[in-house]
Amino acid sequence: MDSRETDFVKAMNNACQTGFTASGDLTLYKRMVMAFFVLAGLMFSVSLLISQSDSNNLSQSAAVGNDGGSEQTRPPLFVPKSCENLTVASSEDLINKLQVYDLWENPLPAAVPPVILDRYPEGIDQLPIEEKKKAFLHTLLPIALVALSEVAEERRQLMHVLDKYKTPPEEFSSEEEDNTSWKKPLKSSERKFIANLTQKYRTTSVTGLLSRVKTVPVSLILAQGAIESSWGSSRFANQGNNLFGIWTWGTNGIIPNEREEGKNHMVAAYDSLLDSVRAYILMLNRVTAYSQLRAIRKKTSDPVALAAGLLNYSERGGVYVSDIGRIIEYNNLRDFDSLGLARSSVKTTRTDSIFTMAGISTGLGKFFSN
């Protein structure tokens, strides 16, 4: 606050104590009253603009993402402009970081900051159970939203390609096949996109891609992650960022302690928690064992209903499916399905926004100097 604004505050205090008697004081009083209402109006306007901006982000995402089978608000469909990548040294450090980004206290912000933790700290299992669960969920939430936004962006691009055809092809055939007429309306970058997409999702069928390139509810990701990683404290989560117990037959993995003799599978290891979530979503979207989940998803995106398509995920079958439903219901995980993703992790408070708009602070000083 500069000297002129300080004088203004002193003048206000004196006016309250002694009243206004001279015409000069009365003029100053009028100016102060006018300034008060101008500033109040600006504060209210900025508040509305910020709220409207967040609302537009979420409503736009919901509109683009509603491709049938759901009446719930969908996660945001834009890939954030920037993500904040974090490393924490302890569970206390994790909670502190979550507090800094408004990701600790409930209710969480409607537009969730895209804050990406690389791995859970080993000490998370030492937290009281409710704090442990909260730290796990509130850390995984923005990571899951970022992974889902990438899938949604793939679907947006796929729909953009299909809009270029009067009659979309049934197949995106490969280079080796004779029928490659589907390439004619497309740019080189779009052809490359389709080639990568068919390889990633293991189908050249347009119907198959439309069934597979889709998001899943955040609540389902959180529930299965909680079960498979013991709320972020399992050996596989700590050593390999594997939150979902995904197996691998490659070279980058962790040998299970109780692996049966003669078996050669390992539990996959990932460079980050985000990679683990990406692998989980892709597995549900392309592996034959989860075709039932994809069939259910055509009708609904309710997480408990979708869980019925995960009978093959665990040897416990129906009991495992019931456990997913109980985790979702007991922990109110459906509440996370209505949250969106902010475009940036940078926090701008309402106060900062007000006093950076058009140099309002300096402007007030000039107003009282006239």
Paired with 67 in beta bridges are none
High-pLDDT (> 90) share of the chain, %? 62
Q: Are residues 177 and 319 in the same domain?
A: yes
CATH number of the domain within which 173 lies: 1.10.530.10
pTM: 0.76
- Which residue would you say has higher pLDDT here, 299 or 20? 299
Q: Are residues 189 and 322 in the same domain?
A: yes
The model's pLDDT over 251-283, given as tens digits with 9 standing for 90+, comes to 778 888 777 776 778 999 999 999 999 999 999
Q: What is the pLDDT of residue 283?
A: 98
pLDDT band (50, 70, 90) for residue 66: very low
DSSP state of 171: B
Q: Are residues 30 and 128 in the same domain?
A: no
Q: Is residue 69 part of a domain?
A: no
Q: Are residues 181 and 282 in the same domain?
A: yes
Q: Are residues 246 and 319 in the same domain?
A: yes
- Work out how many domains the chain is built from and give that number: 2
Q: Which helix (H) or strand (E) holds 152?
A: helix 129-162
Beta strands in 237-319 (DSSP E): 247-248, 253-254, 266-268
Cβ-based burial of 41 (10 A; exposed 0-12, middle 13-18, buried ≥19): exposed
High-pLDDT (> 70) share of the chain, %? 71
The model's pLDDT over 327-360, given as tens digits with 9 standing for 90+, comes to 999 999 999 999 999 988 865 433 333 333 344 3
Q: Are residues 16 and 139 in the same domain?
A: no
Q: Is residue 337 part of a domain?
A: yes
Q: Is residue 356 part of a domain?
A: no
On the question of a cis peptide bond just before residue 109, with omega within 30 degrees of 0, the verdict is no
Q: Are residues 53 and 101 in the same domain?
A: no
Gap between the Cα atoms of 240 and 134, Å rounded: 21
Residue 232 has pLDDT above 70, yes or no: yes
Q: Are residues 98 and 205 in the same domain?
A: yes
- The mean pLDDT of 128-133, rounded to a whole number, is 97
- Tell me which amino acid residue 127 is: L
CB 340 within 8 A of CB 57: yes
Q: Is residue 249 part of a domain?
A: yes
Q: Is residue 347 part of a domain?
A: no
Q: Are residues 155 and 92 in the same domain?
A: yes
Q: What number of H helices and E strands is found in the chain?
A: 14, 7
Q: What is the average pLDDT value for the chain, to the nearest integer?
A: 81
Q: How many CB atoms lie within 10 A of CB 157?
A: 16
The model's pLDDT over 181-230, given as tens digits with 9 standing for 90+, comes to 899 999 999 999 999 999 999 999 999 999 999 999 999 999 999 999 99
Q: Which helix (H) or strand (E) holds 356?
A: helix 350-356
Q: Are residues 158 and 249 in the same domain?
A: yes
Q: Is residue 354 part of a domain?
A: no
Gap between the Cα atoms of 342 and 355, Å rounded: 22
Q: Is residue 133 part of a domain?
A: yes
* Containing structural domain, residue 17: 3-61+363-369
DSSP state of 334: G
Q: Is residue 357 part of a domain?
A: no
